[in-house]
Amino acid sequence: MTASLVTVNPVTSNPVYVALDTTDLDYARELAQQVRGHVGGLKLGLEFFNAHGPDGVRVFADCGLPIFLDLKFHDIPNTVAGACRAAAGLGVSILNVHAQGGAAMMRAAAEAVKSVHPATRLIAVTMLTSLSDEDLPSVGLTPPVGDQVLRLASLTRQCGLDGVVCSAHEIATLRAELGPDFLLVVPGIRPAGAALGDQRRVMGPAQARDAGAGVLVIGRPITGAADPALAARAIAESLGVTAG
């Protein structure tokens, strides 16, 4: 029988969650084992989940690390509530929905998570960071993106969710507007010298943490390194933490 996932406060002493973006289960497991002493958590997203489903998530129970299940639910309230009950029932530490699904959907999601596994933190994606000001009119929204992010993040908090995913450059505004306890989960983190890949608006790990990020999602700078454990350890050391 598989061990249960650990659900801990997702804001661990090491804020780094490594993004295991792969469909290869053995590779994901190997990566997790290599970096487990140097990161605070694991992030599993759509690529991994669509290949391996809930059983694939349970495989990581023996790692002893909290899991952010990044499935970005966006559907009618009843459907999202059902999806949240199923996902929170896995015992993951962080789960997310799209804030653009609206207030009723977010409230239903928050209630569903609380009814099944209150320790799971529910957060919302405001605007995908792949969308820029130029993209907004074609989907019926008015630029700038930053205004939409702040509006949706405020709505997220009003609906009783625990935080949002945001870009590093939105941390300061959201922290100032939404207070110290709102969880800010930040991808697009690049240590000095790391390749940008498709990320554009990046920030270093310590800079993002010091600006108020609670969780730093880091993928390729760790998973694409010749020695992932060494890369994760260097990031942890740059943050002044030595173990997850």
Nearer to ligand C5P, 7 or 199 (CB): 199
Can you tell me which of 58, 114, 151, 220 binds ligand C5P, judged by CB under 6 A? 220
Nearer to ligand C5P, 58 or 220 (CB): 220
- Are 67 and 43 in contact by the 8 Å Cβ rule? The answer is yes
DSSP-derived letter for residue 187 is -
Nearer to ligand C5P, 21 or 75 (CB): 21
Nearer to ligand C5P, 11 or 231 (CB): 231
29's tokens: 């497991």
- Closest among 99, 187, 96 to 141, alpha carbons compared: 99
Active-site choice (72, 107, 175, 220): 72
**Binding range to ligand C5P, per CB under 6 A, among 4-12, 61-69, 154-162, 213-221:** 213-221
The CA distance from 178 to 215, in Å, is 16
Region 29-68 residues binding ligand C5P, contact defined as CB under 6 A = 45
Q: Is residue 214 a contact point for ligand C5P (CB under 6 A)?
A: no
Mark 77-107 as b/e (b = at least 16 C-beta within 10 Å): beebbebbbebbebbbbbbbbbbbbbeebbb
Beta carbons within 10 angstroms of residue 59's beta carbon: 17
Q: Is residue 197 a contact point for ligand C5P (CB under 6 A)?
A: yes
Interface map 111-150 toward ligand C5P (x if CB under 6 A):
-----------------xx---------------------
Nearer to ligand C5P, 118 or 197 (CB): 197
The CA distance from 93 to 230, in Å, is 26
The CA distance from 8 to 40, in Å, is 10
Interface map 175-194 toward ligand C5P (x if CB under 6 A):
------------xx------
Q: How far is the CB of 115 from ligand C5P (least distance, A)?
A: 27
Angle at 12 between CA 8 and CA 17, to 5 degrees: 95
**Binding range to ligand C5P, per CB under 6 A, among 33-41, 133-141, 150-158, 217-225:** 217-225
**Closest-approach residue to ligand C5P (CB):** 219
Q: Is 72 a catalytic residue?
A: yes
The crossing angle, in degrees rounded to 10, of helices 103-116 and 77-88 is: 30
Which residues contact residue 30 at a Cβ distance below 8 angstroms, ignoring those fewer than 6 apart?
none
Q: Is residue 163 a contact point for ligand C5P (CB under 6 A)?
A: no
Binding site for ligand C5P (CB under 6 A): 19, 21, 45, 128-129, 165, 187-188, 197, 199, 217-221
- Catalytic annotation, residues: 72
